[in-house]
C-alpha cells in the first residue's frame, strides 16, 4: 500500500502537460542536446502511462507550421488527439484549460518547447490560478542556454518547482516494494535512464532476478 507524503509527488494527485514537443520547435533548440530532450520527454510520457496519470497533450499550429507531436510521445498515447492551438500561451486556449480542469488535479507537471515561451507562460498563469506547478527541466528546452536557464529562474521565483523526468519517475515509485509498477518502472529506466539504465541491464544479466 502506498503512503505518500503530501510534500512529494503522488501520482494520484498530479496531471502532466506536454506542450509543443514538435519538429519545428525541436529545430530551434540550442539549450541542450535534442536527442536528450526527446529521450526525456518520452520517459516522462511513459511515467504518466505507468502510473495512470492524466496527460494533456498540446501542439501549436500542427498542420501549418510546427508539425505533429513527437511520434515517440504520441505512440505512448495512440488514441489521444493533441489539443492544437494558435495561442503561444496554452493557458489562454479554452480547450487546453478545460482539459486541465477536467482532471481535477491541482499539481501540474509541465514540459515543453520552448521553455522561455510555451512552458513559462502557462506556468505563470497556472500559478496565478492557484495550481502547484513543477517544471520538468530536462524534458523542456529553449532557443539558447540562457533563455532556458533564465526561464527556469523566472518560474521558480514565481513559485514553480523544478524537477527532472527520472526524479519524478522515482518519486512516484517511492518504494521498490510497490510491485504493481516495479517492472514497468525498471523497463523505462532501462530504455531511457542512460548510465543508470545500463547499470540495470548489467545487473539483470549478471545477477539472477527474483522479482
pLDDT at site 136: 98
CA distance 199 to 205: 10
Query: Domains of the chain by range and CATH?
Result: 14-173 (3.40.50.850)
Q: String of b and e for 79-111 (b: at least 16 CB within 10 Å)?
A: eeebbbbebebbbebeebbebbeebebeebbbb
Q: Which pLDDT band, with edges at 50, 70 and 90, does 204 fall under?
A: confident
Query: Is it the case that residue 209 has pLDDT exceeding 70?
Result: no
Let me know: does 141 contact 37? Beta carbons within 8 Å: yes
Q: Show contacts of 194-199: CB within 8 Å, 24+ apart.
A: 194/39, 196/166
Q: How confident is the model at residue 197 (pLDDT cuts 50, 70, 90)?
A: confident
70-90: average pLDDT: 98
* End-to-end alpha carbon distance in the chain: 17
**pTM to 2 decimal places:** 0.93
When pLDDT is averaged across residues 1-14 and rounded to a whole number, the result is 81
Share the mean pLDDT of the chain: 94
Averaged pLDDT for residues 178-185:
95
pLDDT of residue 5: 73
| Catalytic-residue membership of 17 | no
pLDDT band at 206 (very low <50, low <70, confident <90, very high): confident
Q: Which of 9, 109, 118, 141 is labelled catalytic?
A: 118
- Say whether pLDDT at 3 is over 70: no
Amino acid at each position: 500500500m502506498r503512503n505518500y507524503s503530501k510534500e512529494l509527488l503522488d501520482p494520484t494527485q498530479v496531471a502532466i502537460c506536454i506542450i509543443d514537443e514538435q519538429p519545428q520547435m525541436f529545430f530551434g533548440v540550442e539549450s541542450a542536446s535534442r536527442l536528450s530532450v526527446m529521450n526525456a520527454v518520452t520517459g516522462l510520457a511513459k511515467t504518466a502511462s505507468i502510473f495512470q496519470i492524466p496527460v494533456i497533450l498540446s501542439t501549436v499550429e500542427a498542420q501549418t507550421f510546427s508539425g505533429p507531436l513527437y511520434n515517440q510521445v504520441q505512440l505512448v498515447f495512440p488514441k489521444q488527439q493533441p489539443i492544437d492551438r494558435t495561442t503561444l500561451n496554452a493557458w489562454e486556449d479554452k480547450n487546453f484549460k478545460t482539459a486541465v480542469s477536467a482532471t481535477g488535479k491541482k499539481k501540474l507537471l509541465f514540459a515543453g518547447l520552448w521553455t522561455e515561451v510555451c512552458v513559462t507562460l502557462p506556468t505563470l498563469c497556472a500559478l496565478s490560478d492557484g495550481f502547484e506547478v513543477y517544471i520538468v527541466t530536462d524534458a523542456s528546452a529553449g532557443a539558447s542556454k540562457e533563455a532556458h536557464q533564465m526561464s527556469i529562474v523566472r518560474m521558480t521565483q514565481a513559485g514553480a518547482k523544478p524537477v527532472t523526468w527520472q526524479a519524478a519517475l522515482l518519486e512516484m515509485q517511492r518504494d521498490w516494494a510497490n510491485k504493481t509498477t516495479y517492472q514497468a518502472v525498471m523497463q523505462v529506466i532501462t530504455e531511457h535512464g542512460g548510465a543508470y539504465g545500463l547499470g540495470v541491464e548489467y545487473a539483470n544479466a549478471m545477477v539472477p532476478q527474483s522479482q
